Chain A
Amino acid sequence: DGGITQSPKYLFRKEGQNVTLSCEQNLNHDAMYWYRQDPGQGLRLIYYSQIVNDFQKGDIAEGYSVSREKKESFPLTVTSAQKNPTAFYLCASSFLGQGNQPQHFGDGTRLSIL
């Protein structure tokens, strides 16, 4: 079955620690995205990538980093510079094109601070 796999489902971070969230897709999508969801808020874009070895900052990129070494993979690192990392993180992917190409989402990773 094609889909987007995020791991782990739950993650705990200690103060000063970097953590990496995994996102893998087998939908042959070109574009991949990372969003953050906080309670009572909509999804906010952290980073996106349209092609391998290229990525762009979204609306709230500070304290995060990404890489896109393979088409299928788009890991997100939450660095110690992100002062409020507790949130639900969602990865998405889509074909390139106009807005009629919907983004498909993984089941998310919930990050908490110890």
Chain B
Amino acid sequence: DQQVKQNSPSLSVQEGRISILNCDYTNSMFDYFLWYKKYPAEGPTFLISISSIKDKNEDGRFTVFLNKSAKHLSLHIVPSQPGDSAVYFCAASLNTGFQKLVFGTGTRLLVSP
């Protein structure tokens, strides 16, 4: 049962344009959502998070939007840079006495010059 879904395995955009990565979830009890970026043969790096009581959080070129009614969140990267090329994982946090993270399957972003 996939509680966090990233339905697009890959995305290609041109440098300078906007990248939009999408994530859907099924469990309304998730209290935080996080985005991680991963390069090959490295561990994921935390990018940005959003509380379930917010609908937007912004950090530099990265903005995460949360639509609770649709159980959907998205990560916007503006402007996209070649160094942004990586796999992006969406994760949702469930407070079960500890911070359990449920990960999506990832979206590979390729930003071409």
Contact = CB atoms under 8 A, between A and B. Distances in A.
A, B co-complexed: yes
Interface of A: 4, 6, 9, 31, 40-45, 48, 50, 56, 90, 92, 94, 96-108, 110
Bin the interface of chain B by size. Answer: 20 to 34
Interface of B: 4, 9, 31-32, 34, 36, 41-46, 49, 51, 89, 93-95, 98-106
B43 A107 contact: yes
A49 to B, nearest CB: 9
Give the dominant DSSP class at B's interface.
strand
A105 to B, nearest CB: 3
Given A42-B89, A42-B106, A98-B95, A103 B101 contact: yes
A61 B46 CA distance: 25
B51 A100 contact: yes
A48 B98 CA distance: 9
Contacts, number: 71
A99 B93 contact: yes
Contact of B43 (A4, A94, A101): A4
B98 A100 contact: no
A107 B51 CA distance: 27
Contact of B42 (A50, A92, A102, A107): A107
Contacts of A97: 99
A48 B49 CA distance: 21
A108 B41 CA distance: 7
